[in-house]
Structure formats: C-alpha cells, structure tokens
Amino acid sequence: MINIVVKVIGIQRDAQGGESRIELTAAGHYYEKNDVKYIVYKDTEISGLDGVTTMLKVYDQYVVLVRMGSVKQQQEFRLGTKSQSTYVTPYVTMEMGILTQSIELALDGPAMNIHICYELELNGQWQSTNTLSISVREESKSGY
C-alpha cells in the first residue's frame, strides 16, 4: 500500500446556469489488485461527507466510485453508459442516474489524473451537468 495525496475538484452546473465548486485535498492509500487500481481516502466536511470513506476502483477505461460510512453509494462512470444506483444517507434515500459524457484517464502507477464529465439525475429528474477532476500523487517521504 502506497501513501498518496488526492485532490478532487467537483463542479456542478444546474439548469439556471448556476455553478457550485468543491475542492478537497486528502491523504489516502493506493494499491493494485487484479489489474485494478484502488484509491482510498476519507472525505472531510468540505465535501459534506465528513467521515465517509471513498474508494475509487480505476480500470483501463472506466471508474467505479464506492462510498462507505454514513453515506452509502456505488456509481460507475463508463463512457456513453447510463448507470443507476441508490444514494443512501441517514436522512434520505435517492435513486441516482449518471450518464457519462466523457472520461479521460492518465494512469502511471500511483500518479494519475482522472477527468469525468457527466449528467446527474436524482429520482428520475435531471439535476445538473458535472465535472469531476481527480489528481493523485505519491506522498513525498519528507512530508511535503
């Protein structure tokens, strides 16, 4: 297991043209198993998911996001494919639909850049166009 630093930038654009942006930097772990790259990190209050563990399973052409803890979710980002999942919190359960419009993966061991553009539906209603940019680098031995 390799210690990493994960930077996540999420941008959401709604029907009225409003835009919200979340940026998160977190320490995490990277490992590979059966040709799949795993990125695991804890979300913070910045993302609104404080204490939730996020795992990204990175394949050659698609990504699966898994959230565990007070929020439970598994979502697949595969180009041109609409995936359905259930988003479960202590307060509400919603059906979530994701239509992946583009996905770019630059993978070099624990160093990687992932860029995903997708449409989001909640309970069958279109909500927003989103971009998710994730950069991962190995944590330096000196702590910087």
If one counts the domains in the chain, the total is: 1
What's the predicted TM-score (pTM) here? 0.87
- pLDDT of 75 higher than 90: yes
Nearest-angstrom CA–CA distance, 85 and 96: 5
- pLDDT of 65 higher than 90: yes
Both tokens of residue 12? Answer: 């959401």
| pLDDT at residue 89 in the model | 87
User: Do the domain assignments include residue 58?
Assistant: yes
User: Do the domain assignments include residue 109?
Assistant: yes
**Domain at 110, CATH number:** 2.40.128.20
User: Do the domain assignments include residue 144?
Assistant: no
User: Do the domain assignments include residue 143?
Assistant: no
User: Do the domain assignments include residue 31?
Assistant: yes
Helix/strand/coil for 30: strand
Task: Summarize the confidence of residues 94-112 as an average pLDDT.
Answer: 93
Cα–chain center distance at 142: 28
pLDDT digits over 9-23, tens only?
999 999 888 999 999
Domain of residue 115: give its range.
2-138
pLDDT digits over 19-55, tens only?
999 999 999 999 999 999 999 998 866 656 667 899 9
Tell me the pLDDT of the chain averaged across its residues. Answer: 91
| pLDDT at residue 108 in the model | 86
